[in-house]
Structure 1
Amino acid sequence: VDKAWKELSNILSGIFCASLNFIDSTNTVTPTASFKPLGLANGTDHHLLRYAVLPREVVCTENLTPWKKLLPCGSKAGLAVLLKAERLFHSSYHSQAVHIRPICRDASCLAVSWELRQSLTVVFDTFSSSQGKKDWSLFKMFSRTLTDACPLASQSKVYVDISPKNKEKELLEVTPPPASVYEAIVQGDKRTYAVYDLLSPSLFNTSRSLNVQLKWKRPQDSSELPTPILHAQRYVSGYGLQTGEISTLIYNTHPYRAFPVILLETVPWYLRLYVHTLTIITKGKENKPSYIHYQPAQDRRRPHLLEMLIQLPASSVTKITIQFERALLKWTEYTPDPNHGFYVSSSVLSALVPSVIAMKDVDVEQSPLFTSLFPSSDGSSYFVRLYTEPLLVNLPTPDFSMPYNVICLTCTVVAVCYGSFYNLLTRTFHVEEPSRGGLAKWLANIIRKFRGVPPL
Structure 2
Amino acid sequence: ELLLSPLPAGGIAATFQFRTRWDAAPGRGGAGLAVLLKAERLFHSSYHSQAVHIRPICRDASCQAVSWELRQTLTVVFENFSGTQGKKDWSLFKMFSRTITEACPLASQSKIYVDTSVKDKELVEVTPSPTSLHEAIVQGEKRTYAVYDLLSPSLFNTSRSLNVQLKMTWPQDMELSTPVLHAHRYVSGYGLQTGKISTLIYNTHPYRAFPVILLETVPWYLRLYVHTLTIITKGKENKPSYIHYQPAQDRRRPHLLEMLIQLPANSVTKITIQFERALLKWTEYPPDPNHGFYFLPPSGALVPSVIAMKELDMEQSPLFTSLFPSSDGSSYFVRLYTEPLLVNLPTPDFSMPYNVICLTCTVVAVCYGSFYNLLTRTLHVEEPSKGGLAKRLANVIRKLRGVPPL
TM norm. shorter chain > 0.5 = yes
Alpha carbons of 1:318 and 1:139: their partners in 2 closer, same or farther (altered >3 Å)? same
Taking a change above 3 Å as real, the CA distance of residues 411 and 105 of structure 1, as seen in their structure-2 partners, is farther
Partner amino acid for 2:337? Y
Whole-angstrom CA distance in 2 between matches of 1:128 and 1:190:
28
Name the SS for the 1:184 alignment partner. strand
Runs of at least 5 residues in structure 1 that lack an aligned partner in the other structure: 1-69, 436-440, 446-456
Which amino acid is the alignment partner of residue 46 of structure 2? S
Displacement of 1:75 after TM fit? 2.5
Q: Does 1:425 align with 2:379?
A: no
Q: Distance in 1 between matches of 2:261 and 2:112?
A: 39
- Structure richer in strand, relative to its length: 2
**CA–CA distance in structure 1, aligned partners of residues 86 and 46 of structure 2:** 16
Q: d(CA) in 1 for partners of 2:379 and 2:103?
A: 92
Three-state SS of the structure 1 residue aligned to 2:333 is strand
- 1:231 has 2:174 as partner: no
Equivalent runs, 1:18-417 vs 2, <5 Å: 72-127=26-81, 133-165=87-119, 168-216=120-168, 220-221=171-172, 223-352=174-303, 367-376=317-326, 380-417=330-367
Runs of 5+ consecutive residues of structure 2 not aligned to the other structure:
1-21, 390-406
The two structures have a TM-score, normalised by structure 2, of 0.81
Deviation at 1:83, TM superposition (A): 1.7
Q: Is the 8 A contact 2:100 2:163 kept in 1?
A: yes
Q: TM-score, normalised by structure 1?
A: 0.72
Distance 1:150 1:138, change over 3 A: same
- Following superposition, the deviation at residue 406 of structure 1 comes to 1.2
Number of residue pairs matched? 366
In 2: Cα distance, 1:289 partner to 1:105 partner: 43
What is the CA distance between 1:403 and its match in structure 2?
2.1
CA contact (8 A) 1:181 1:192 kept: yes
C-alpha contact (below 8 Å) 1:134/1:220 kept by paired residues: no
- Give 1:380 deviation, angstroms: 3.1
Shift in CA distance, 111/428, structure 1 to aligned 2, threshold 3 Å: farther
**Distance in 1 of aligned mates of 2:381 and 2:351:** 50
What SS does the aligned partner of 2:52 have?
Answer: strand
Q: Deviations 1:201-254 (Å, cap 9, x if unpaired)?
A: 1111111111111224x6733744422222111100111212111000111122
Question: In 1, Cα distance between the equivalents of 2:382 and 2:190?
Answer: 75
* CA shift for structure 1 position 320: 0.3
* Over 6 Å off, 4+ runs: 357-366, 430-435
What letter matches 1:220 in structure 2? P
Q: Is the 8 A contact 2:213 2:303 kept in 1?
A: no
Q: Which amino acid aligns with 1:210?
A: L
The question of whether the paired residues in 1 share the 8 Å contact of 2:310 and 2:326 is answered with no
Deviations 1:126-160 (A, max 9, x none): 25588953121112222211110000110110111
CA RMSD, Structure 1 to Structure 2 (Å) = 3.2
- Select the structure that is richer in helix: 1
Question: How far 1:190 sits from its partner (Å)?
Answer: 1.2
Paired amino acid for 2:346: P
Greater gyration radius:
2
**Separation in structure 1 between the aligned mates of residue 366 and residue 278 of structure 2, nearest angstrom:** 41
Contact residue 308 and residue 326 of structure 2 kept, 8 A: no
